[in-house]
Amino acid sequence: MLLAANSFAQTYQVYACKGTAVTLTGPTPGTGETLRWTETVGGSNNIQTGTTGATFTTPTTLTPGEHVFNVQVISGDPATTGCSSDVSADYKIFVLPDITLTLADPTNPTYCASATTPSSALVATVTDPSGVTIPAEVTYEFSWAVTKGGSPASNSDIGTIADVAKSSTFTMNTASAGTYAFTPTVKYVVPSNINTSGNKKGCDATTTAKSVIVTPKPTTPVISF
């Protein structure tokens, strides 16, 4: 299920996972021309020195949040008599922070298969990043991997999943005895018309698995003489 990260609306040309480089392409410089690439972040303009060609690769150290890039064509020596074109339209990149996902202990670490209502719930929750507002068009998608006795198991045979806001709850209702291990994963999802970069393009995050034991119903005892 896709869930809105928050209500702040803004469209970007690229969403990139933290630590990912993005390659931007401008016009091919003509004879005697170079390109000047500029980054704006937090209101400060930074000329990207060392890159004067048609492509510019962002550093992998970009901080989470909005980064705006522009390019100009420079004819001649920009330090003396060079002429410059108008600045290009903004090209906006949003660097997505690492996702922090936590998995709470199951409500019933052990329950009996013969219980009237066999149940145990596990809740995975995303923690808001500090200092960064995730745009509203970015959503979260949760998934669960479950094993029984170390072998993959079908989620639908074991229980139900409900996603709300920034959390996902797996509620067990199986009466089949065994040891079950649960591992949630979450990733960002952006609109299909926007480019993405890095880590399977979703900045996946997961947690250490937690287990629930379903104990079998004991056999009926027999009294003998």
- Note the helical H segments in the chain: 155-158
Could you tell me the pLDDT band of residue 192, with boundaries at 50, 70 and 90?
A: confident
- CATH code given to domain 100-215: 2.60.40
Q: How far out from the chain centre does Cα 96 lie? A: 7
Residues 4 and 134: beta-carbon distance below 8 Å: no
- What is the rounded average pLDDT of the residues 62-71? 93
Q: CA-to-CA distance for 117 and 175, rounded, in angstroms?
A: 9
- What is the rounded average pLDDT of the residues 66-94? 86
C-alpha separations of 63 from 47, 78, 157 in Å: 17, 30, 42
Q: CA-to-CA distance for 138 and 145, rounded, in angstroms?
A: 23
Burial class (CB in 10 A: 0-12, 13-18, 19+), 81: exposed
Residue 80 has pLDDT above 80, yes or no: no
- CATH code given to domain 19-96: 2.60.40
Which has more confidence, 29 or 103?
103
Structure tokens at 120: 């145990």
pLDDT attached to residue 10: 54
Question: Is pTM beyond 0.85 here?
Answer: no
Residue 159 forms beta bridges with which residues? 172
Q: How far out from the chain centre does Cα 29 lie? A: 37
Measured from the Cβ of residue 61, the count of other Cβ atoms closer than 10 Å reads 9
Q: What is the DSSP letter of 131?
A: T
Query: Rounded to 5 degrees, what angle do the CA atoms 31, 35, 40 make?
Result: 170
Q: CA-to-CA distance for 110 and 116, rounded, in angstroms?
A: 14
Could you tell me the pLDDT band of residue 50, with boundaries at 50, 70 and 90?
A: low
Residue 2 forms beta bridges with which residues? 141
pLDDT attached to residue 213: 97
Domain limits, CATH 2.60.40, in the chain: 19-96, 100-215
Residue 17 has pLDDT above 80, yes or no: yes
